[in-house]
Amino acid sequence: MINLILFGPPGSGKGTQAAKIVDQYQLVHISTGDLFRYEMGNDTPLGMKAKDYMAKGELVPDSITIGMLRNKVEAHPDARGFIFDGFPRTIPQAEALDILLAELGTEVSGLIALYVDDEEIVYRIRLRGATSGRPDDSDERIIRNRISIYKNETTPVFDYYQKQDKSHTINGIGTMGDIFDRLTGIIETWEKKSGD
Ligand code: ADP
């Protein structure tokens, strides 16, 4: 199995690239942000719980997020692998993911971080906010809050997988095709290993 953690700050292009990787490798794409938005759109109890945190650009508590992720993974017993997009965002989430995948007899293949600087992120998210209808995309204070939460709470996840020799960084600026080539260059090396 290939289990990729697509990592990077909000607005770094994870969702766009995930869609292209899914086409190429037939992996199941799990975006925790999309899952929360779906729940919110349907006014489910889970959506109600997530709503205020998301509106402020804060992280939804781990207990809620980890349970949702586990359900989604377990709903795909025949998957060839997963792309985790927006998860894990904290160390407890990373530990929970490692445990879950170990239960399934597999593991994280690697984490790839898209590097994009802060000003480019703010620019991209505001542009997206014009059409996405996402309230957390249209207020610069909330965007900057998300960036600072990423730096404080989420970047430790990079170091966590670095200790397992699994973390990689690529330049997240360039054409969609350029960035895709950078990603697949790394994923191909895992494919070779998993084929051994
Ligand atoms: P972006 O990558 O642009 O921040 P996402 O769709 O990944 O957008 O996330 C939107 C919001 O959903 C986050 O700001 C947070 O409130 C919530 N969220 C998504 N994933 C997680 C997670 N793994 N842990 C906690 N909160 C999350």
Among 35, 38, 58, 60, which is best to mutate for testing ligand 1, by the most ligand atoms less than 8 A from CB? 60
* Cβ-based neighbour number of residue 33 at 10 Å: 19
CA distance 194 to 59: 33
CA distance 173 to 165: 24
Complete DSSP assignment for 16-35: HHHHHHHHHH-PEEEEHHHH
Q: Is the CB of 154 under 6 A from ligand 1?
A: no
What pLDDT score was predicted for residue 89? 98
Q: What tokens appear for 71 in the block? A: 């359900």
Domain ranges (residues) in the chain: 2-27+79-195
**Ligand 1 center to residue 15 CA distance, Å?**
12
Among 136, 143, 150, 155, which is best to mutate for testing ligand 1, by the most ligand atoms less than 8 A from CB? 136
Q: Architecture of domain 2-27+79-195 in CATH? A: 3-Layer(aba) Sandwich (3.40)
Q: What is the pLDDT along the chain (196 residues), one digit of tens a residue?
A: 999 999 999 999 999 999 999 999 999 999 999 999 999 999 999 999 999 999 999 999 999 999 999 999 999 999 999 999 999 999 999 999 999 999 999 999 999 999 999 999 999 999 999 998 888 998 999 999 999 999 999 999 999 999 999 999 999 999 999 999 999 999 999 987 766 5
Using alpha carbons, select from 97, 106, 108 the residue that is nearest to residue 78: 106
| Residue having the nearest C-alpha atom to atom 5 of ligand 1 | 33
What pLDDT score was predicted for residue 195? 60
Name all contacts of 47-55 with Cβ < 8 Å and 24+ positions apart.
54/136, 55/135, 55/136, 55/142
